[in-house]
Structure 1
Amino acid sequence: MTATLPISHVGFSTSPHKGDLASLEASIAEIVDLGADVVELGLFGEDLISGGRVIEGRARHFAEICAKFDIRYTVHGLIVSNFMDEAHLAYQKAAVGAMIELCDRIGADTLVHHSGHAPIGSRPLLTHYDRVERAALAEMAALAGRHGIRIALENIFAVDNSEYRQLPSEVAATVHSVGSPHLVGLIDFSHAYIEATRTGADFVHEIKAFAPVAGHLHLHDSFGRPYTMSKFYYTSEAIALGIGDLHLPLGWGDLPFEALFNEIDVLPGTALIMEIGERFSAERADSLERARALAARINARHAVAAA
């Protein structure tokens, strides 16, 4: 890792392949062929863990696939990861522990973990949820640290007003509270845009509040429109209406990436990952060029400050 640069690597995530490791290999190859610096492996869909344990035979095959490519890897853990989920917390932590083991086997340095959610309730109840999550994060960060891995805590949006989710500034407070070098923030700009629209929060303020602890970035475009309508017959219909977490190529939505990247700084060695799937393979090269230009804004500012 080039630790002197704030954004050291730019690349893409793989799409979930429902356990088809041959398709995963093809997905990695496509990203490598684009000239990316990093691949984020979406292991939530690859059947590598069963009941909190690594499936040994499949894991060996997975590691052999990853070893074929000379590229940095990061890993995206389970979409359902939720350290506010007390009823299933032991299962949740076991799965994260298995993900850390998989990271270690392939030399991945970062594990993406979704910030928690719970039913909305009184302030004391929400504070309780926060404490449960922070204790679990501290435990898992210590485990990750023993393997030289850091957990990247990602901001998410609520689907409706019955769900408690932390705003990006509150996720930053969680990272600060845990106080481990093996726990960093992950800014998902589209998620923040949607949640700011839903709650009436100041989107730019939320991003700027989160950025100082951010060691990982997720980029994909959208219009920041919450799921006020959720039934679509085709993905193209949601795109046409601009509703939801669309994971669009950069420039297809209206996220003000250039203005944001003029304002924020992030931790050294941050990977910028575009979660833009193979549906948009024809647009990925353009998004890679745009993303590298955005990274250069932060890196150039850092170079001037360090001179």
Structure 2
Amino acid sequence: MSSLIAAGFAVEAADGRLSSLSADLRSVVDLGADAVELTLTSLDLIAGGRIIEEHVAPLLALTRQFDVTYTAHGLVSSNFMDPDTLPFQLQAAKALVELCDRIGARVLVQHGGFLRADQIHQRADAVDREREALHELCAYAARHGVRIALENIFSTAPGQYRQTPAEIAGTVKAVNHPALVALIDFSHAYLEATYRGLDFMAEIAAMAPVAGHLHVHDSFGRPKGFYEAFFPQEAVALGIGDLHLPLGWGDIAWERIFSELRFLPGTVLMMEIGERYRQEQPASLAFARQLMSLNAKA
């Protein structure tokens, strides 16, 4: 039996308004998705770590219209390694946990942290700082019935300090809290493996035993570097960067991955394939369900 319980798409408010998130949500539900990841921080729901209560009721009214499994994406700029912003990061993350509980989302995505190249003196304690913050957040999340999913991210600037996918797995194991799981973003892992000269399959295999959430979208694992494409379509033409392509457009070996790797029970397969590829979303959803079936036989 597969540990994968649902497949769906991440949605967001393109203009910061609930109406655009609503349109995106309705579209993916109409496609047949049985899970949706709400990008909560694309809306004005939190100010200085406090929930804006008058903005919550309309969100609740919207989410209650659909019988799907909800998960939530936290701050895209989340970073528990940076000592300067860590107090604010924790406040916002705890507010997001409360929002998750209220909308019935039982997973909150937290990005793995990083330090800039110039933050050399902060590196010695960076991993411990992140782990302590994660433990505090997980203790809070557990009281709300929410799991924190720690996502592997790829290097985005020269000299940046951040953990590899296998090291993210090590952090999850070291924190050792039932409310903490790893989140494998396969394209991120592919990009980082290429950039650092690592074995892609070995890196994601290290994460799989502690992975309770998946971000699935295609790419070619070619780091963008300093290249700036004039049109987004030009980056796709070159196959460079974190492209968030429909499944099958890149060269990630999905069948091999889902045949060989096993994940934690209750894991959701969440596709970060946005509105730009609405026409291709149905085929990606069908592909994702084939991967779930394949994983069930592994």
CA–CA distance in structure 2, aligned partners of residues 180 and 124 of structure 1: 29
User: How far apart are 1:68 and its partner, in Å?
Assistant: 1.0
Amino acid at match of 2:204: I
Determine the structure 1 residue equivalent to 2:198.
Answer: 201
CA distance in 1, matches of 2:85, 2:134: 15
The residue number in structure 1 matching 2:155 is 158
> Do the aligned partners of 1:120 and 1:126 also contact (CA within 8 Å) in 2?
no
1:122 CA displacement: 10
**Which whole-Å CA distance do the structure 2 matches of 1:280 and 1:263 have between them?**
28
**Structure 1 counterpart of 2:110, which letter?**
H
The partner residue of 2:281 within 279, 284, 293 is 284
Q: Which residue of 1 aligns with 2:53?
A: 56
Match of 2:249 in 1: 252
Q: Distance between the aligned counterparts of 1:264 and 1:19, measured in 2?
A: 37
What's the TM-score, normalizing by structure 2? Answer: 0.97
Return the offset for 1:141.
0.4
Q: Following TM superposition, by how much is the alpha carbon of 1:125 offset from its aligned partner in structure 2, in angstroms?
A: 5.5
CA distance in 1, matches of 2:150, 2:215: 11
**For 1:33-61, what per-residue CA distance to the aligned partner results, in whole angstroms no more than 9, with x for missing partners?**
11111000011211111111111111111
- Unaligned regions of 5+ residues in structure 2, if any? none
Kept in 1: contact 2:221–2:241 (CA 8 A): yes
d(CA) in 2 for partners of 1:24, 1:15: 5
1:235 matched to 2:227? The reply is: no
Task: Tell me, yes or no, if structure 1 residue 177 matches structure 2 residue 177.
Answer: no
The alpha-carbon deviation at position 120 of structure 1 amounts to 4.7
Q: Letter of the aligned partner of 2:40 in structure 1?
A: L
Q: Tell me, yes or no, if structure 1 residue 91 matches structure 2 residue 88.
A: yes
Match for residue 265 of structure 2? 268
AA of the residue aligned to 1:26: A
Matches within 5 A, 1:94-109: 94-109=91-106
Q: 1:38 aligns with which of 35, 40, 44?
A: 35
1:138 partner amino acid: H
Aligned CA-pair RMSD? 1.5
Partner of 2:215: 218
- What is the identity percentage for the equivalent residue pairs of Structure 1 and Structure 2? 51
Alignment check: 8 A CA contact 1:144 1:151 kept: yes
Question: 1:137 — aligned with what?
Answer: 134
**Unaligned runs of at least 5 residues, structure 1:** 302-307
- Inter-partner Cα distance in structure 1 for 2:180 and 2:196: 26
TM-score normalized by the length of structure 1: 0.94
SS of 1:12 mapped into structure 2? strand
